[in-house]
Structure 1
Amino acid sequence: MKRISILFVCMGNICRSPLAEGILRHLVAEAGLTGQFTVDSAGTGGWHEGEPPDRRSIATAQRHGIDISAQRARRIRPGDFRGFDLVLAMDRDNVAALAEIAPPEANIRLFGDAALRTGEDIPDPYYGGPDGFELVYTRLLTGCSSLLETLGVERASCSGNTSSVR
């Protein structure tokens, strides 16, 4: 299998994209394919650069056996468009922001199109409560699992508690 590089992007890189990065890294590790993937996340804005993910994202991930506490927010860089096979934005606003700065050959897709095949935006849970983070986790888990299956990684080979929302 060819090494695949995926970059998840949201606005500040503290809620949705760090969760997506953590989920996909976890699923890839469970499948024994860590060496076959490069997974990262970034934000279209740099307000939180260097900060850990939002405490609610960390707590949500932790409830599902995933540790994202060591991640640090960063702003997308021009080299990311060349360095990643696939750039998955969490919503249409981020797709538009990326399209303004990306070279024409960049592979930018909406997560809801590429991973969920529903065309939906992943809602930003920042201004809500814990239920919003659980909803985002569920959508990201479903999409990341589907994405791996599309790339030829069988979900059935994965174990652990990420397949359910508690």
Structure 2
Amino acid sequence: MTTRILFVCLGNICRSPAAEGVMRHIAPDALLDSAGTSDWHVGEAPYAPMQSAARARGYDLSALRARQFRGQDFTDFDLIVAMDRANLTKIEGMRPTGAETPVVLFAEYAEGWDMTEVPDPYYTRDFNGVLDLIEAAAQGLLAQL
């Protein structure tokens, strides 16, 4: 069975598309997608500075488009991966009755990092630092699959 993983952040233009891109690179057989808990950027490509930082590492995010998280995602995915606690809380608030799909924090998979959340580079401007953490978390998540 193919693993179906959804990565979720706030706007779906920085962290979650970067996580999707990194995981597509290291786990090509997984079914992957990303979404945002807000509807601010629906239909937009990932943020240009994130695309540039990802492209410099060999990840092409240009075909991805932002979409909003929906309750149906609990049925469509085997694992939902939140970038921070605030988004995890929003996701859990949309959990349909009876849905058992796990929702986890991505950064907790990053071995050797003392972080539980992936900072939002839209605000911090540290796109490379966030990619470092995403790459580490992606490797940790892959090891758990």
Query: What percentage of aligned pairs have identical amino acids?
Result: 43
Runs of at least 4 residues of structure 1 off by over 3 A? Answer: none
How far apart are 1:139 and its partner, in Å?
A: 0.4
- Residue by residue, what CA displacement relative to the aligned partner does 1:84-117 show, whole Å, maximum 9, x if unpaired? 000000000001111111125231111123x226
How far apart are 1:119 and its partner, in Å?
A: 5.5
Give structure 2 stretches of 5+ with no counterpart.
none
State whether residues 19 and 137 of structure 1, in contact with CA within 8 Å, keep that contact through their aligned partners in structure 2: yes
The equivalent residue for 1:162 is none
- Residue by residue, what CA displacement relative to the aligned partner does 1:54-104 show, whole Å, maximum 9, x if unpaired? 001100110001100110000012211111000000000001111111125
Matched AA of 1:138: D
Q: Quick one: distance in 2 between partners of 1:73 and 1:105?
A: 25
The equivalent residue for 2:21 is 22
1:137 aligns with one of 124, 131, 139: 131
Matched AA of 2:123: Y
Q: Quick one: distance in 1 between partners of 2:85 and 2:143?
A: 24
Q: Quick one: distance in 1 between partners of 2:52 and 2:4?
A: 26
How far apart are 1:46 and its partner, in Å?
A: 0.7
Q: Which TM-score applies when normalising by structure 1?
A: 0.81
The equivalent residue for 2:100 is 105
Q: Which TM-score applies when normalising by structure 2?
A: 0.92
2:86 aligns with one of 72, 87, 93: 93
RMSD: 1.3
**2:13 is the counterpart of 1:10:** no
| Secondary structure, counterpart of 2:6 in structure 1 | strand
Matched AA of 1:52: A
How far apart are 1:53 and its partner, in Å?
A: 0.3
Count of matched residue positions in the alignment of Structure 1 and Structure 2: 141
